Amino acid sequence: MITSRARRRVAAVLGLAAALAPFVAASAVSAPSAASHRVTPEPPAADAVRAELDGLKVEPPHSMSGYSRARFPHWIKQYGECDTREVVLSRDGSGVTQDSMCRAVAGSWYSPYDDKTLDSASKVDIDHMVPLANAWRSGADNWATDRRKAFANDLDNAQLYAVSASSNRSKGDQSPDQWSPPNQDFWCVYSRSWGHIKSVYGLSVTQPEKDKLVAMLDTCD
């Protein structure tokens, strides 16, 4: 027969276990489930992007007056402690584990720009396919802050890629006619992604930029 004292002890143990459960879960280093099901968005096929490019306004770059990266709020929280950078690191990496603050503490990442594999998140940058400064010169100078924030944290379109820090910094804010990935095997995806993002957000292109994109799209054939 279980005594009332024994029942009280059991209840106390169960209550302690319930209280500790959130802390045990928080200390796990597996990637959050909300990130694990995400995949890198696939841009449209080359022919579709060619049609999108034909619909874009062709004009010289706008002035950089008033520009700063702070005008494009990033990286914002997506869920829990996970910001946009950490979501992309989890999405694009292999064997990624994260700490209780959603920071990637292990894993490997393939950088398609330069065909390199990286063994630490510290070597990885999250690149905006269409850079923030390029977007500003292409029409984002007239946007409201909320639209700039959506652009800078877009997980639904092919705008964010995990790449080597060195390739991202080499690219800077240059358009495809000024810089293109050293890994030419990625030119097809790169041009499809760039052209589609410009179309999604109604951004303009320069004539040299458009010409280079069309040439890069030809590598898809």
Q: Note the pLDDT tens digit of each residue in 163-184.
A: 999 999 999 999 999 999 999 9
Task: Please provide the average confidence, as pLDDT, over all residues in the chain.
Answer: 88
Range in 30-39, 146-155, 168-177, 192-201 the model is least confident about? 30-39
Structure tokens at 96: 């990624």
31-35 mean pLDDT:
43
Q: Note the pLDDT tens digit of each residue in 104-144.
A: 999 999 999 999 999 999 999 999 999 999 999 999 999 99
Q: Note the pLDDT tens digit of each residue in 50-94.
A: 999 999 999 999 999 999 999 999 999 999 999 999 999 999 999
User: pLDDT tier at 3 (50, 70, 90 boundaries)?
Assistant: very low
Q: Alpha helices of the chain — where are they, by DSSP H?
A: 4-26, 33-36, 46-54, 84-92, 132-137, 145-152, 165-171, 187-200, 207-217
Q: Name the one residue in this structure whose structure tokens are 């080359």.
A: 46
Whether 161 and 189 have beta carbons less than 8 Å apart is answered as no
Q: Where are the domains of the chain?
A: 29-220
Question: Distance between CA atoms of 65 and 72, rounded to whole angstroms?
Answer: 15
Question: Distance between CA atoms of 134 and 176, rounded to whole angstroms?
Answer: 11
Reported in sequence order, the residue ranges of 72-175 that DSSP labels E, i.e. its strands, are 77-79, 82-83, 93-98, 104-111, 116-118, 124-128, 160-164
pTM: 0.83
